[in-house]
């Protein structure tokens, strides 16, 4: 079947374009702010603390934290981009237009998640470029690096989309990223190897799903990881499938959208 | 594709009195044989809170008409149009738009509809041009700058095409909402309380615009609690109250059947009381005794004006002048709602 006939691609493009335009309209908040934050991490962790930690797994500390820092921004920005994108029309009421348009659920998800993920990926690449100004970088598996980047951005944009539909207030919108994602990212080996932890804490940390994302992503850079790459990839895909299932349920039931 | 065609069988929903309108019978336009463009059958809506917003709605909207859906706040007007437009899921029943089921054939059904909601809900940071083109794209239409320009010019928004929505006045925002709804060239336009909080001039402009759209063949469904709006524009009127359609009729027919008339008779000499022999007319005498008021309607058993005038003459009551008044749609509406238990 002709894709153009089967799908409302113009609608997908219209939503995607609006989302991208918002990022450029709020370039300070969307791009410059995370870049400054990352630079500060490099100054504090890379220079101040890094000068006392020579290397981890044979990697200089400054270079070691790069994948974790990218992942930190990727997770938080994917969630915040996608959750805001769908929550804002709900908040101002303009969601009526989306719900009354000849657009399928799949098209809505592709457009919003695609927009959010694109912004996060661009941001991740900008942070990567920024990091290269501070530390010499070597990417051992660039294709896998991109694959992890895209897969994580899409998965967490989907997760953000779910939060945006679930949230009834701006406070709820911030709740999950602030209280769950950021702590999990910090405790997930962004700034250290989990092998540096005592056994008991290492075991506890393995219940943190972010560990697998950071570990897999770091492997794509340096060929070294805290847990097996296959498990990292598998966990990311499992989380992606869970998010897809939740989104499918939301659209089937009209949860907090059509009720 | 199987298409439901409902012909306009002359079906009067009720006796022409002020009582007994409660019915779930399908209402049809009495005079038209045109197939309906929207058909609503047995639609109910119960919210998660248990509130039943719509009880069982059966309604046909005729192609090319202006249909006014009247009702007090909370009657179910917005819920009903939200269901037809796909914004709210119905609990039961079926809705078709030009023969397309709103669930199974939602793409075809929705692409025919434009909606102007009651609230001014626009992305405040988008420009007028961008937001109208966004709406067109959302409905799957290819870019057509000439058409969008025409819509903006018709709505006196062309000068503001590069302005952000947040900078527009309330009236301009309302027009922008209309521009967005018209951007994909809909055949059915829902206007939910279009002139709520709008000044008189803009209201007149909107009425004019609605008439122009109708001339172009667009079917218009207007929800309002401003009776004068329905009176000025509608071909047919439906009244919804507490989630039930209690009446649908041609506006002129409705006013003829349910509208009351008053004959005001200004007397040459004041009367102290109305003579006993005129009691069958139930005349009201003004406090100063200078004016008699006779209230009647086309359907009542009361005797006619000619009979009254003859009896006044016979009673030696002479009048200087007389005038008649028709009840407005508003009075009819209020009377209808008062009949509701």
User: In the prediction, which pLDDT does B18 show?
Assistant: 30
User: Which 3 state secondary structure label does DSSP give B216?
Assistant: coil
* Lowest-confidence pick of A78-82, A151-155, B119-123: B119-123
Q: From chain A, pick out residues whose CB is under 8 angstroms from the CB of B138.
A: 10-11, 14-15, 97-98, 101, 103
Nearest CA in chain A to B143: A10
Q: Which residues does chain B have within 8 Å of residue A18's beta carbon, measured at their own beta carbons? A: 123, 126, 130, 134
Give the pLDDT confidence score for residue A117 in this predicted structure. Answer: 95
Give pLDDT < 50 ranges for chain B.
1-32
Kindly indicate the confidence band of residue A205, based on its pLDDT and cuts at 50, 70 and 90: confident
Reported as a pLDDT band with limits 50, 70 and 90, residue A154 is very high
Q: Which of B202, B205, B177 is nearest to B192 (CA)?
A: B177
A163: its two tokens:
């939060």
Residue whose C-alpha is closest to residue A243's, from A217, A214, A203, A209? A209
Q: Assign domain B260-339 to its CATH architecture.
A: 2-Layer Sandwich (3.30)
Q: Which of B96, B123, B131, B120 is nearest to B110 (CA)?
A: B96
Give mean pLDDT, residues A223-248. Answer: 88
A51 part of a folded domain: yes
How close A233 gets to chain B, by Cα (Å)? 35
Between A14-18, A32-36, B87-91, the lowest mean confidence (pLDDT) is in: A32-36
Which B residues 77-106 touch A at CB under 8 Å? 82, 85-89, 106
Q: Across chain A, what does the average pLDDT equal?
A: 86
Is A216 among the domain residues? yes
Q: How many domains does chain A have?
A: 1
C-alpha span between B238 and B230 (Å, rounded):
10
What single string gives the DSSP state of each residue in chain A? --HHHHS-HHHHHHHHHHHHHHHHHTHIIIIIHHHHHHHHHIIIIIIIITTT--EETTEEHHHHHHHHHHHHHHHHHHHHHHHHHHHHHHHHSTHHHHHHSS--HHHHHHHHHHHHHHHHHHHHHHHHHHHHHHS----S-HHHHHHHHHHHHHHHHHHHHHHHHH-SSHHHHHHHIIIIIHHHHHTTTSSS-GGGS-HHHHHHHTT-HHHHHHHHHHHHHHS--SS-HHHHHHHHHHHHHHHHHHHHHHHHHTTTTT-
Question: pLDDT band at A141, cuts 50/70/90?
Answer: very high
The residue of chain B nearest to residue A11, with distances taken between CA atoms, is: B138
Q: Tell me, what's the pLDDT at A208?
A: 87
Least CA distance to B114: which residue of chain A? Answer: A100
Reported confidence tier of residue A93, pLDDT bands at 50, 70, 90: confident
Say if residues B102 and B110 touch (Cβ distance below 8 Å): yes
Return the axis-axis angle of helices B170-182 and B128-138, rounded to nearest 10°.
30
Contacts of A88 (CB under 8 A, 6+ apart): B123
What distance in Å separates the CA atoms of residue A36 and residue A127, rounded to the nearest whole number? 9
Answer yes or no: are the C-beta atoms of B191 and B222 closer than 8 Å: yes
Return the pLDDT at B328. Answer: 67
Here the tokens at position A202 are 């290492």
pLDDT in tens, A41-74: 877 876 777 677 777 777 888 888 889 889 888 9
Residue of B nearest to A9 (CA): B140
Class for the domain spanning B1-112+187-258 = alpha beta
Q: Do residue A15 and residue B138 have CB atoms under 8 angstroms apart?
A: yes
Q: What does the alpha-carbon distance between residue A124 and residue B136 come to, in Å, rounded to a whole number?
A: 33
Best to test chain B binding among A1, A101, A115 (most B CBs inside 10 Å): A101
Q: For residue B7, what pLDDT is reported?
A: 30
- Which of B120, B140, B189 should be substituted to probe chain A, the one whose Cβ sees the most A Cβ atoms within 10 Å? B140
pLDDT given at position B80: 94
CA B230/CA B228 separation, integer angstroms:
5
Do A211 and A226 contact (CB within 8 A), yes or no? Answer: yes
Taking an 8 Å cut-off on Cβ atoms, the answer to whether A14 and B137 are in contact is: yes
Please tell me the predicted confidence (pLDDT) of residue A259. Answer: 64
**What CA–CA distance (Å, rounded) separates B297 from B103?**
45
Domain containing A54 equals 3-253
Instruction: Give the separation between CA A240 and CA A243, rounded to whole angstroms.
Output: 5
Q: Give the C-alpha separation, B54 to A157, whole Å.
A: 37
- Nearest by CB to A101, from B47, B110, B121: name it: B110
Instruction: State residue B240 phi and psi, 5-degree precision.
Output: -115, 135
Query: How close B107 gets to chain A, by Cα (Å)?
Result: 4
DSSP state of B35: P
* Contact (Cβ atoms closer than 8 angstroms) between residue B336 and residue B71: no
Work out the average pLDDT over A135-149.
Answer: 90
Q: Is B9 on the interface with A (CB under 8 A)?
A: no
Cα distance between residue A206 and residue A191, in whole Å: 16
pLDDT in the model for residue B17: 31
Is residue A258 one of the residues assigned to a domain? no
A209: left (phi over 0), alpha (psi -120 to 50) or beta: alpha
List, for residues A242-251, the tens digit of each pLDDT value. Answer: 999 998 888 8
Predicted TM-score (pTM) above 0.80: no
Whether the predicted pLDDT of A214 surpasses 50: yes
Nearest CA to B62 out of B29, B31, B102 is that of B29
A vs B: CB pairs below 8 A:
82
CA distances from B244 to A233, B70, B159 (A): 56, 11, 44
Q: What mean pLDDT comes out for the span A112-139?
A: 89
Q: What is the CA radius of gyration of chain A?
A: 19
Residue with tokens 């406070």, as numbered in its chain = A171
At residue B300, the pLDDT reads 58
Residue A79 inside a domain? The answer is: yes
Residue in A73, A82, A60, A84 with CA at minimum distance from that of residue A32: A73
* pLDDT score at B298: 59
Q: Name the residue ranges covered by the structural domains of chain B.
A: 1-112+187-258, 125-182, 260-339
Residue A33 has pLDDT above 50, yes or no: yes
**Distance of alpha carbon A173 from alpha carbon A76, whole angstroms:** 12
Long-range contacts of B248-255 (CB under 8 A, 24+ apart): B248/B13, B248/B27, B248/B59, B249/B13, B249/B27, B249/B30, B250/B29, B250/B30, B250/B31, B251/B68, B251/B329, B253/B30, B254/B329, B254/B332, B255/B326, B255/B327, B255/B329, B255/B332
The H or E element spanning position B293 is strand B291-297
**Distance (Å, whole) CA A13 – CA B200:** 39
> What is the distance in angstroms between the Cα of B140 and the nearest Cα belonging to chain A?
5
Q: What is the pLDDT of residue B187?
A: 95
Measure A224 CA to nearest chain B CA, in Å. Answer: 46
Is residue A259 included in any domain, yes or no? no
């Amino acid at each position: 079947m002709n894709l153009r006939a089967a799908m409302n691609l113009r609608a997908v493009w219209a939503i995607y374009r609006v989302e991208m335009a918002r990022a450029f309209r709020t370039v300070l908040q969307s791009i410059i702010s995370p870049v400054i934050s990352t630079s500060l991490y490099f100054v504090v962790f890379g220079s101040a603390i890094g000068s006392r930690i020579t290397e981890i797994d044979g990697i200089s500390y400054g270079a070691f934290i790069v994948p974790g820092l990218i992942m930190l921004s990727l997770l938080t920005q994917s969630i915040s981009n996608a959750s805001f994108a769908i929550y804002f029309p709900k908040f101002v009421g303009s969601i009526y237009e989306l719900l009354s348009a000849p657009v399928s659920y799949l098209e809505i998800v592709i457009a919003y998640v695609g927009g959010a993920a694109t912004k996060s990926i661009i941001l991740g690449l900008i942070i990567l470029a920024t990091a290269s100004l501070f530390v010499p970088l070597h990417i051992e598996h660039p294709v896998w690096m991109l694959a992890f980047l895209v897969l994580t951005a899409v998965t967490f944009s989907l997760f953000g989309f779910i939060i945006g539909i679930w949230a009834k207030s701006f406070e709820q919108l911030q709740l999950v990223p602030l209280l769950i994602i950021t702590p999990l990212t910090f405790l997930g080996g962004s700034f250290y190897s989990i092998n540096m932890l005592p056994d008991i804490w290492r075991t506890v940390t393995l219940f943190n799903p972010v560990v697998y994302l950071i570990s897999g992503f770091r492997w794509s850079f340096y060929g070294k990881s805290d847990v097996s790459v296959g498990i990292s990839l598998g966990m990311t895909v499992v989380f992606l499938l869970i998010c897809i299932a939740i989104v499918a349920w939301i659209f089937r039931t009209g949860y907090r959208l059509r009720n | 594709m199987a298409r439901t065609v409902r012909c306009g069988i002359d079906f009067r929903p009720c006796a022409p009195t002020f009582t007994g309108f409660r019915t779930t019978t399908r209402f049809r336009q009495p005079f038209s044989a045109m197939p309906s463009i929207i058909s609503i059958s047995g639609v109910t809506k119960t919210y998660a809170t248990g509130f039943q917003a719509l009880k069982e709605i059966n309604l046909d909207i005729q192609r090319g008409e202006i249909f006014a859906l009247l009702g007090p706040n909370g009657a179910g007007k917005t819920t009903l149009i939200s269901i037809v437009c796909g914004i709210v899921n119905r609990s039961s029943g079926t809705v078709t738009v030009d023969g397309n089921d709103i669930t199974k054939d939602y793409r075809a059904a929705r692409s025919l509809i434009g909606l102007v909601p009651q609230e001014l809900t626009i992305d405040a940071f988008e420009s007028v041009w961008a937001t109208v083109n966004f709406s067109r794209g959302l409905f799957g239409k290819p870019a057509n700058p000439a058409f969008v320009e025409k819509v903006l010019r018709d709505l006196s928004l062309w000068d503001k095409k590069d302005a952000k929505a947040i900078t527009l006045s309330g009236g301009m925002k309302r027009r922008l909402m209309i521009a967005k709804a018209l951007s994909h060239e809909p055949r059915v336009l829902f206007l939910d309380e279009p002139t709520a909080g709008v000044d008189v001039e803009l209201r007149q402009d909107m009425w004019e615009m609605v008439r122009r759209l109708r001339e172009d063949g667009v079917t218009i469904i207007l929800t309002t609690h401003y009776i004068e709006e329905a009176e000025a524009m509608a071909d047919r009127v439906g009244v919804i109250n507490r989630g039930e359609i209690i009446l649908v009729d041609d506006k002129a027919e409705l006013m003829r059947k349910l509208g009351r008339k008053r004959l005001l008779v200004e007397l040459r000499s004041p009367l102290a009381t109305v003579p006993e022999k005129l009691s069958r007319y139930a005349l009201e005498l003004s406090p100063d005794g200078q004016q008699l008021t006779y209230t009647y309607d086309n359907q009542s058993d009361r005797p006619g004006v000619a009979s009254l005038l003859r009896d006044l003459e016979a009673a030696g009551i002479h009048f200087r002048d007389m005038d008649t008044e028709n009840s407005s749609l508003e009075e009819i509406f209020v009377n209808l709602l008062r009949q509701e238990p």
